[in-house]
Amino acid sequence: MENGVRKREWVKTAAIILLAVLLVLTFFSKTIMNASLPEVATQQVSSGAINARIRGQGTVEASEVYNVTIKQTRKVSSVLVKTGQEINVGDTLFVLEAEDSDELKQAETDLETLQQNYDKSLIEAGNTAAQENHEVQKAREAYNDALAIYRQYTNVDATQLTSQKIAAENKLKELQQAKTVAENAATELKNTDEYVKAQQSVADAATDLAALESNRSSALAASSIPAGRAIGNSISIREKITKLQQTYNNARTTYGNDFTAYYELCSGDSAAMKKHYLEDTIKNLVSDKNIFYTADEVNRYNEAYRKAYEALYVYYYGDSSQDGIYVLQDMLVIAEIDDEILNVKQNSERAARTVENYEDRISYFEDQIKTLDIQLDDQQKVIDDLGSAASAADTVKSTKEALEDLIFKQNLGDSSSIDMEAAKKAIERKQEEVAKLRENADELEVKSSVSGTIASISASAGKSIGGEDQPLATINVTDRGFTVKIDVTNEQAKKVKVGDTAELVNFWGGDAVATLDQITNSQSSGSRTLVFTLTGDIQAGQNVTLSIGQKSSNYDALIPLSGLREDSNGKFVYVLQSKNSPLGSRYIATRVTVQELARDDKSAAVSGISQGDFIITTSNKPVEAGKQVRLADNG
């Protein structure tokens, strides 16, 4: 009995242990399995619109770029344009220094060296031949004499005489024109109304000043102004007169007539008026002057004159503290003359400064004329010397040819004759090269051959530049249009064709049209380059965004591009399917073949799946069809 109980207890315990182990194994098996499964992210299929237009950004370039070049290396004097400036055919872009190019200088140096070496060989050959042939001796002497005469005028090669004479004559014309300009400028200044009037003003001022000084002397001599008295200015004198008149206004009203009568009785002599007043002889004076007056009248006049004198003498004649009205009035006359003298002097000084300024400018041009006369004489001598040199050069040429003929006839040796013939031909070739280089040597302006916009400038003032490989500037030829390039995928390139018009996105520069001109291979594999031609309000260097292709359409099934896959069997997606189990939901990746209907840069429209399906977009491990996966948020 006890054994049976123990056996049942053991079985029960074993069952409990087994169940616990199964539970533990079940739990850990799910965790271990999930850890080994691919972790995936999904997105639900939805309906929506696909914008199949292709967008791309590029920099506008001119369809044609023109390089501004000069054939010879020249030094730039000034640059007349700047980057971005619009220019037309014939516009002057650069000014060059008035000096020979590096190539011409080198060619002339080479020619001079060849000529010197040949002349030495000719003279040496002539000396050798002269020992055996009298005619060669005479020809050599004639050549040497002609060469000596030529050297008296110039040391340059005879081939340069014509160009030098033309340049010298042009220089003479420039000097003559400069002299004419200076002469005209001097004549114009001399005949200027302002200058002529200023000269007349100075002359008139001298006459006016002499008359005014004479008037002043006469006025001063006739005045009652004490000797040595300072005159002062007219304004202050007028103020003193006004103040004095105001002070004695009442006295003048009361006694003015009597004072005037007494003044006339004394013949205007202030000393006599004072004497009679002090000695009380006015009565006698009145009696003497007015013999028909009665005694009462004499007494009345006597009293009136005494009172008038007492009241107004200081007013008219002043005292130790102030001048009287007579002195002030005389002083005012002198002061007004002084004012006029000052005004005439100031006007004369201004006119004199004007005359001086004009004469300085006239003198400047007259000095120029003198200098130009000297330069003209010197330049004429240069031309005369070049003319004489040209005549001497003809003699040198003829005597040289005569000597050459005799020497070559003498046949000094095959190698010697061959060498001299070769040297002579080398000189001729170099002369042709120098002549060709001189054709454009006097051009000082570089003009544009096209219309457009300056894209870049390589030349700068003071810098030597030239040759086909050293353009002075580059020009975007605007009338040839502009282009812009954008790279797209091969799939995108299949959706557009040459001739399609593209839209300029967010372009505020004006009216512009972009047309697809070419579809070319891109430098990147799997890509193509769309080349557009642009017309309208556009400039090189602008960054533009283009949009081209079909307009947007609505589709039933849209998926992200990351969920669309492709292999040798075509395009497909992995649809996530859920299955229930005693241990929870399990997720299986099911392959579904789809057909791509359209796409943009984010989504693709497909057929073969339905709205609401969940497709796998990303995974941390390769996904296989029919295999279990785990969701990223399920852990």
Q: How many domains does the chain have?
A: 4
pLDDT at site 416: 59
Tell which wins on pLDDT, 43 or 163: 43
Between helices 234-247 and 249-265, what is the axis angle to 10°? 100
For 293-378, where are the E strands, in sequence order?
A: none
Shared domain check, 43 and 1: no
Q: Is the pLDDT of residue 331 over 50?
A: yes
Whether 546 maps to a domain, the answer reads no
Shared domain check, 336 and 282: yes
pLDDT band at 333 (very low <50, low <70, confident <90, very high): very high
Whether 359 maps to a domain, the answer reads no
Tell which wins on pLDDT, 590 or 143: 590
Q: Is the pLDDT of residue 2 over 60?
A: no
Shared domain check, 329 and 248: yes
484-498 average pLDDT score: 77
Which residues span the domain enclosing 316?
Answer: 216-343
Task: Retrieve residue 618's tokens.
Answer: 């990303």
The whole-angstrom separation of Cα 618 and Cα 599 is: 19
- At residue 516, what are phi and psi to the nearest 5 degrees? -70, 120
pLDDT at site 214: 95
pLDDT band at 634 (very low <50, low <70, confident <90, very high): very low
Q: Is the pLDDT of residue 155 over 90?
A: no
Q: Is the pLDDT of residue 7 over 90?
A: no
DSSP one-letter string for 280-296 = T-HHHHHHHH-TT--HH
280-304 average pLDDT score: 79
Three-state DSSP at 492 gives helix
Shared domain check, 270 and 324: yes
Q: Is the pLDDT of residue 129 over 60?
A: no
Shared domain check, 257 and 278: yes
417-442 average pLDDT score: 71
Whether 376 maps to a domain, the answer reads no
Q: Is the pLDDT of residue 24 over 60?
A: no
Shared domain check, 335 and 224: yes
- Could you report the per-residue pLDDT of 342-352, keeping only the tens digit for each? 999 999 999 99
Tell which wins on pLDDT, 84 or 5: 84
Whether 457 maps to a domain, the answer reads yes
Whether 127 maps to a domain, the answer reads no
pLDDT at site 125: 59
Residues of the chain with pLDDT > 90, as a percent, come to 26
* 3-state secondary structure labels for all residues of 121-175: HHHHHHHHHHCCCHHHHHHHHHHHHHHHHHHHHCCCCHHHHHHHHHHHHHHHHHH
3-state helix, strand, coil in the chain (%, to 5): 55, 25, 25
Whether 21 maps to a domain, the answer reads yes
Shared domain check, 319 and 235: yes
Give the residue from 61, 153, 114, 134 showing the smallest Cα distance to 432: 114
Residue 619 maps to which CATH number?
A: 2.40.420.20
pLDDT band at 74 (very low <50, low <70, confident <90, very high): confident
Whether 193 maps to a domain, the answer reads no
Pairing mode, strands 482-489 and 61-62: antiparallel
Shared domain check, 48 and 16: no
Query: According to the per-residue pLDDT averaged within each range, which of 96-105, 169-178, 462-471, 575-584 is highest?
Result: 169-178
pLDDT at site 576: 86
- Could you report the per-residue pLDDT of 214-255, keeping only the tens digit for each? 999 998 888 888 888 888 899 999 999 999 999 999 999 999
- Could you report the per-residue pLDDT of 577-597, keeping only the tens digit for each? 888 766 567 888 899 999 888
Whether 272 maps to a domain, the answer reads yes
Shared domain check, 12 and 43: no
Give the residue from 142, 175, 168, 140 showing the smallest Cα distance to 153: 168
Shared domain check, 43 and 78: no
Task: Retrieve residue 337's tokens.
Answer: 């003359």
